[in-house]
Amino acid sequence: EVSIEANPTGITDKHFEMWKRLGINRISFGVQILDDNVNASLNRPQAASEVERIVNRAANYFNSISVDLILGLPGVDDGMWEKTLERVVAWPVQHVSVYLLTIYEHTQLFHDIKAGRVKYPESDRLAVCYEDTVSFLALHGFAQYEISNFAKSGFDSLHNKAYWKRVPYKGFGISAASFDGIFRFINEKKLNLYLSGVKSGMRSFYETGGAFCERLTQNQENTEIAMLALRMVNGITITNLQKMFIKNDVQMWVKELKDAGFIKGIAQNRVCLTPQGMLVQDEIVSRIL
């Protein structure tokens, strides 16, 4: 699987032809929401009609197409979100990612929400919308395999799964991340420093440990394994949890979460989150600590 991410504006058949010649066989479009006014407010000048045209053109070159949507954008009501989903599932796409909006500090949206100029959706409404989205996508052939990811049969993203299963990978280029199973590396983020490093003979910042390098402690590694596994619909075995968190009462933790409706019925010794549980996955992981 060789995937490329693209904004669905200004793309021509020449781009598709070039990417295909390079060996790219999967394309992911950042759609976010199919409403021109909302996208304009996010400084994304893309018309819904143009996005639809580009996706349909891409189907002439790729049989593995994904679209990214963002749930919780200010100004998006339930009807607008439902119309976006209805249009997307009618497109020639095989994969849909639905991400909950993340508000980063020091961004314009952060300041607008803090000042009351923009209203962020209430958590209860988002929870219901997320659960409805999971059900709607399943009804149209997109099975959930991770908190934010849904795919038709045989189209789960291989590189996404690699990240969640902590499979080693190498990243090349400015700001790229790598993981060798023990250490994590991030290449230089400043263009001038990266270029000077390349010119001085470094073939790859990965070979020198990158601009940033960390090794997780055993406890950090256990926490990460649990967190990533619980993002997947297959979850994690109770046996593995007990091995990693031997000092904690895992059985009691599992029972509490099951009683709260966050865990599905225990089957084959596995802990799997319900849609409600996936919405508070970070809090659930922190409970076991």
Q: What is the pLDDT of residues 60-77, one digit of tens each?
A: 999 999 999 999 888 888
Q: How many other C-beta atoms are found inside a 10 Å radius of the C-beta of residue 35?
A: 18
pLDDT, residue 265, reads: 65
pLDDT, residue 111, reads: 76
Q: What is the pLDDT of residues 67-120, one digit of tens each?
A: 999 998 888 889 999 999 999 999 999 999 999 887 777 777 777 777 777 777
Distance CA 286, CA 281 (A): 9
Query: Mean of the pLDDT values across residues 161-187?
Result: 86
pLDDT-derived band at 209 (thresholds 50, 70, 90) equals very low
Query: Mean of the pLDDT values across residues 196-219?
Result: 70
Query: Mean of the pLDDT values across residues 215-230?
Result: 88
Burial environment of residue 182 by CB neighbours within 10 A (0 to 12, 13 to 18, 19 or more): exposed
Query: Which residues have a Cβ under 8 Å from the Cβ of 50 and sit 6 or more positions away?
Result: 8, 9
Q: What is the pLDDT of residues 124-153, one digit of tens each?
A: 888 899 999 999 999 999 999 999 999 999
| pLDDT of 220 higher than 70 | yes
pLDDT-derived band at 10 (thresholds 50, 70, 90) equals confident
Helix (H) or strand (E) holding 270: strand 270-271
Place of tokens 């010649």: 21
